[in-house]
Structure 1
């Protein structure tokens, strides 16, 4: 049998998770901004001879760039969802049901962890691409 934590602990954890989600959304947004800024300075290939063009610049001219930015935007959306869910539940959930906010905390933690994992995988692949270039 699962005994739920105290209501005060659940509400405090909800606040912590929402704050963490908003902070991480800011970091991912910064990463996305940096990628978009790098693209504006990238030298795009204009001929069949791509040996002179750095590999990272070629990345900007492929569908991988758009897929990467799309995934990062999805990360931001999911993190904002966690934050808004947490704050909304704290504001609008009646006192009698606040003990069940635990389950929203578990969901939020899972979403945050998987979103961070996905962002880390994207960054790792970008670093590999830069290293190869």
Structure 2
């Protein structure tokens, strides 16, 4: 029997992928920061301070008054932190990793891509829940006019 093992890429390829992972991390953190800024801006425009029974406020405004808003903001902040961490480690690898160890950047690339995928999935989940709230509000509005 002959077993093949996974060979590490050459140092040029490993560093090119490290650059890509780093740039993707920084770009995604910018998008998430923008989303977070939009949510905070909407929250500041919301007049409701606490949820009361039989409140006529929109579902989206009720979201801002609930504890879910703060959990959402916390998760988005942590997404930004993890992506910035990946970007900083990527830059450190590119700048300070000795030439003979540069093919080992493959392991960072796999780890970084994993963190990026998990972060994207968390953000998509959060966005889908916010869209569900907006859809629920839209459906409620349509029922009121029927």
TM-score (norm 1): 0.96
Indicate the residue corresponding to 1:15 in structure 2. Answer: 19
Question: Rg: which structure is higher?
Answer: 2
Indicate the residue corresponding to 2:135 in structure 1. Answer: 131
Indicate the residue corresponding to 1:98 in structure 2. Answer: 102
- 1:70 and 1:44 map into 2 onto residues whose CA distance is 21
Q: 1:3 aligns with which of 1, 7, 10?
A: 7
3-state SS of paired residue (2:8): coil
Aligned structure 1 segments of 4 or more residues deviating by more than 2 angstroms: 45-51
3-state SS of paired residue (2:77): helix
8 Å contact 1:45–1:53 — kept in the other structure?
no
TM-score (norm 2): 0.87
Cα displacement string for residues 23-74 of structure 1 (whole angstroms, at most 9, x for unaligned residues): 0000000000000000011130567344311011000111100000000000
**Aligned-residue RMSD, C-alpha:** 1.2
3-state SS of paired residue (2:7): coil
Seen in structure 2, the aligned counterparts of structure 1 residues 117 and 16 have a Cα distance that, compared at 3 Å, is same
Alignment of 1:8-87 (within 5 A): 8-44=12-48, 48-87=52-91
Alignment of 1:109-124 (within 5 A): 109-124=113-128
Unaligned segments of structure 2, at least 5 residues: 138-146
